[in-house]
Amino acid sequence: MKLKAKFADMGSVEAAVLALKSDGVTPEQIELFSSRPVEIKHGVLARPSRLSLFAVVGAVLNGSLATAFMYYTQLDYPLVTGGMPLTSGWATGVITFELTMAGAVAGTVIALLREGRFFRQSKDAPEQMQEDTVYLVVERAESAAQRTQEIVQQNGGRIVADWGARP
Amino acid sequence: MTTLAHAAGRSHELIREDLLRPLRSTSPLYWATLCVCLLVILWAGFAWYVQLTEGIGVAGIRRPVYWGFYIVNFVFWIGISHAGTLISAILRLTDAGWRKPVTRAAEAITVFALMIGGLFPIIHLGRAWLFYWLIPYPNERLLWPNFRSPLLWDMTAIFGYVTGSVLYLYLPLIPDLAQAAAHTGGWRAKLYRILSLGWQGSDRQWHALELAMKSMAVVILAVAVSVHSVVAFDFSMAIAPMWHSTIFAPYFVAGAIFSGIAALILAMASIRRFLHLEDYLRPMHFDNLAKLLLLMSIVWLYFTAVEHLTVWYGNEHLEIAVLNHRVAGPHAPYFWGMVVCNFVIPFILLGIRRLRTIRTAVICGVTVLIGMWLERFLIVVGTLSNPPLPAAWGDYAPSWVELSITAGTFAGMVFLYLVFVKLFPIIEIWEYEREAEG
């Protein structure tokens, strides 16, 4: 079952999340929604991110592809270079660098879309979010429902049956 | 949260209402300016049409000066593009709290300046319809790309920078678009809903967005520096007097940041005045940017002095010819005008604390833009006017076509900016709300 609650401030949300975690709830079972950045203390709701990895992989991949493309084209149709090396690292380095950076940008955006779950939308997100309100959704087994409800209420949460989720 | 928000002076509703207001209503002056800009753009379009049909000969570029206004404008606008992404990235990475109302205004300048700057190599081609010959792809006509050419470096660098800058502008816009979708109606709401990619405001999305913006800031900083370095390579890779210089890349980057800050001050002052956002773009923001402008003015003077002193002391006859042409010859009024615009005026008006106001910051913004345009002109035209053989020396005067197209690009910049502020919130709502809380 899913339990929904509204909070009036971030401090109460943090306290509720910590209490839920000590009761065995994992970060994967918790979801928060707010119209403003959810700035929760470091470590309270740890969500491991692979965004940096995606950026690095994108950079390496695109940079390698760019270098391979340049070498292929230059060797396949050798230009007259007046004795200069046909595939010079110095001369092609600029393009390698630029396309490496473009790869990092692409990797970052892909990671953002993936980790932000832009294409796997939550059905519990409120359709209209009120100002100064943080919405919390906890997914738990039916047997722990009563205890979860108590934890949330003890930490300032107001249990809501339905807040008009997105269709 | 409510208490904190009210303590900062404004409720969240009021902030949102203020920042979304320009989307709903604008003054008659807005529409008048838009129409004037459109007329100038149409005139510039006509001038370009004349060039396309009559040939590049209608422009003033002649031997020995085969790079004129078009390349000057190209370098100038690419420099202006450093206003946004670079400044925004530095402020974001250093977590400067005052950046919040500034960043989007700056990032929009980058995107539009790049679009305009990127047009000039195509206009300069003459036969603009063959622009795709610049694209590096193996083809059947044996026009294989030469990756050693700085022109190809330019294309790759600018393409990467445009892509990165558009995304850097777009990503932090997503939460605001979701808000705008909820508080507008009709086609706007539909447009914002599509562009917000189904933003839900979950902690996962906020967390990923924050991380992505930090990662993008690091990457875009490197790209921005590299782009203007590559533009500098267009000159410094040529064995030409007063071009072939090792400091050209940092000199260009410093100049780009300098002119970028000037453009940002002008844009912010216009937004503040015409969109009535005085409570958001406060004197403190202008004061901080004015200090940055003053710093860059000193850095610019240092680079300029070093460059000219080295050439003068070296006394190499080809370089001395260009130096004399610039400092004491036909270009001397432009050179000394540039020094006054870029250093003397900012140093006096911004260096004396009592004189440093929004008005003087705007004055300095205008003079710096004029000064930096003159600098680009002196670099491009000065060297080409003085080729090694004195018998081939010549000067350059722009034709009405070049002047019209140049005017059109300035009008184009204003036009694009005006359209942007009408369609999207120019100040980050969610960032500002967070500042109000903090």
User: What ipTM describes this predicted complex?
Assistant: 0.88
Specify the pLDDT at position A42: 76
Q: What is the pLDDT of residues B366-385, one digit of tens each?
A: 999 999 999 999 999 999 99
Contact B179 A99 (CB under 8 A): no
CB contact under 8 A, B437 and A81: no
Could you tell me how many residues make up chain A? 167
Q: If chain B, 438 residues long, is cut into consecutive pieces of 10 residues, what is the mean pLDDT of each piece?
A: 43 80 84 95 97 92 90 92 79 78 88 91 88 67 68 86 92 90 87 90 90 91 90 89 91 92 93 86 91 95 95 92 93 96 96 94 97 95 89 90 95 94 88 68
User: Please, how many CA atoms are within 13 Å of residue B175, restricted to the half-sphere of its CB?
Assistant: 28
pLDDT at A166 (0 to 100): 58
pTM of the full structure: 0.89
Q: Which residues of A touch B5 (CB under 8 A)?
A: 132
Please give, rounded to a whole number of angstroms, the shortest distance from the CA of B308 to a CA of chain A: 28
Chain B residue with minimal CA distance to A133? B1
User: Cα–Cα distance between B179 and B192 in angstroms, integer?
Assistant: 9
What sign results for the dihedral spanned by CA atoms B31, B36, B41, B45? positive
Q: Which residues contact B19 (CB under 8 A, 6 or more apart)?
A: B277, B280, B425, B426, B427, B429, B432
Alpha-carbon distance A84 to A92, whole Å? Answer: 13
CATH code of the domain occupying B28-133+143-437: 1.20.1630.10
CB contact under 8 A, A79 and B223: no
Torsion sign, CA atoms B380, B377, B102, B421: negative
- Check if A39 contacts B (Cβ < 8 Å): yes
> Boundaries of CATH 3.30.70 in chain A?
2-45+122-160
Q: Which residue of B has its CA nearest to A91?
A: B148
- Residue indicated by tokens 């491991």: A48
On chain B, the residues whose CB falls within 8 A of the CB of A91 are 147-148
Which chain A residue shows the shortest CA-CA distance from B217? Answer: A105
Residue A125 is encoded by which pair of tokens? 């997100």
- Beta-strand relationship, A2-7 and A30-33: unpaired
Provide the H-helix boundaries in B245-399.
248-274, 283-314, 317-327, 332-339, 345-351, 358-385
Q: Which residue in B277, B223, B234, B278 sits closest to B380, CA to CA?
A: B234
**Cross-chain Cβ contact B1/A132 below 8 Å:** yes
Q: Cβ-count burial of B257 within 10 angstroms (0-12 exposed, 13-18 middle, 19+ buried)?
A: buried
Percent of chain A topping pLDDT 70: 92
Q: Which residue has the tokens 């240092």?
A: B302
Q: List the single residue in A45, A55, A118 with the smallest CB-CB distance to B203.
A: A45
Do residue B147 and residue A8 have CB atoms under 8 angstroms apart? no
Helices (H), B25-68: 28-54
What is the pLDDT at residue B5?
Answer: 40
Class of domain A2-45+122-160: alpha beta
Residue ranges in chain A whose pLDDT is less than 70: 77-79, 81, 84-86, 162-167
